[in-house]
Amino acid sequence: MFFTNLCNWLLNNIDRLLLGRFLNAHAVGIYTIGYNLANTPNSLFLTALQPAFLAAGTKLQDDPARLREAYVAIQASVWILVAPVFVLLSCVAPQLIAVLYGPGWEPSGPVLATLALAMPAYVCWGLSTPVLWNTGGKHLESILQVPVLAGAAVALWLFAAQGPLMAALVAAGTLIARALVIATAACVRLKVDPASIGAIAWRSALLMAATAAGAYAGQALAPLQQLAIVQLAAGLVGGVLLPLVAVLAWPALMGRRVIDMLGRFSPPVPARLGVYLRSKCSIG
C-alpha cells in the first residue's frame, strides 16, 4: 500500500516537480492554473465515487458476476455522463480562463483544454483500482504503473522545456496510459466482454462529439463574439442543449445501465427523466 501510494503521488505530481526545474515561475503558474481547473471536477467525482465503489466491491468480491456488472455500469456512467462534461470544459477553456483570470492568463486556455480532455481517463483509472484491490490484485496497481511513471519522467525531462502546453500534452498522455493499463487489468480480472466495452465506447463518442459540436456552434452563433463572457455562456448553452436533445430524441444513446443509474441515484426530477428514458429505451 505504501509503495502504491508513493507511485500514485509521483504520477500525480511529477509534471509540476519537473516543470519547476525547466521553466520559469510564470510558465509554472500558467500550467498550474490550467491543471487546477481541469482537476477540480475530477477530484469531486473521485472523492464521491471511489470510496463508495471500494466499499461496494468489498461486499461483492465473492460474487464476480455482480461485481463485473457494477464495474461496467459505473464505467458506462463515467464515459457517457461525465466525459461530455470534460469535453464541454475543454471547448470553453479559453473563454473560462479569460473570464476568471483575465487576458493576461490566456496561455492557460490551451493547457486547460488539453488536460480536461484527459480527465475522464483519470476518473476511469480511479474507479478501476478498487477492482484490483477487491480481486486479490492490489499489487498490480503499482507494478503496472511503474513503466508509466518512467515514461512520464523521460518525456517530461525531454519536452517540458518547450513550454506549459507540451507539459500538458505529456501529462494528458500519462493519464490516458494509466487508465489503459489499470482498466485493462480490471476488465481481464472481471472477464468483461468486448461487446460491453464497445457499447460504452460508441455511445460516449457520439455524446462527446455532440457536446463539442453544440459548444462550438453556440460560440459561432453568439452575438458580441469579442466578449469572453458571451462566448462562454453561448458555448455552455450549446454544449448542454445539443446532447440533451439527442438523448431525448434517441434514449437508447444513453444505454440502459446509465439510465438505471440515473433513476437509482438522482434527485426526483432526473429520476423521473430516467423513468421516461427507460420506457423509450429498447437496447441495453
What does the domain layout of the chain look like in residue ranges? 2-249
Span 99-144, pLDDT tens digits: 999 988 999 999 999 999 999 999 999 888 888 887 887 788 889 9
Flag whether pLDDT at 68 surpasses 70.
Answer: yes
Tracing cell 443509474 back to the chain, one arrives at: 261
Span 170-213, pLDDT tens digits: 999 999 999 999 999 999 999 999 999 999 999 999 999 999 99
Residue 84, pLDDT score:
96
H-type alpha helices, the chain: 2-22, 25-60, 64-77, 83-91, 93-101, 108-126, 129-134, 138-159, 164-190, 194-221, 228-249, 256-265, 268-280
Task: Tell me the whole-structure pTM to 2 decimals.
Answer: 0.87
Check if the beta carbon of residue 178 is closer than 8 Å to that of residue 185. Answer: no
Check if the beta carbon of residue 79 is closer than 8 Å to that of residue 200. Answer: yes
- Of 74, 202, 201, 263, which Cα lies nearest the Cα of 277? 263
Distance CA 203, CA 127 (A): 19
Check if the beta carbon of residue 111 is closer than 8 Å to that of residue 30. Answer: yes
- Cβ contacts of 186-195, under 8 Å, gap ≥ 24: 186/71, 186/128, 186/129, 186/131, 186/132, 189/131, 189/132, 189/135, 189/137, 190/64, 190/67, 190/68, 190/71, 190/131, 190/135, 191/64, 191/68, 192/68, 192/71, 192/72
Three-class DSSP category at 94 = helix
Q: Cα Rg for the chain, rounded, in angstroms? A: 20
Distance CA 15, CA 17 (A): 5
Q: How many residues can be counted in the chain? A: 284
Residue 261, pLDDT score:
77
Check if the beta carbon of residue 247 is closer than 8 Å to that of residue 264. Answer: no
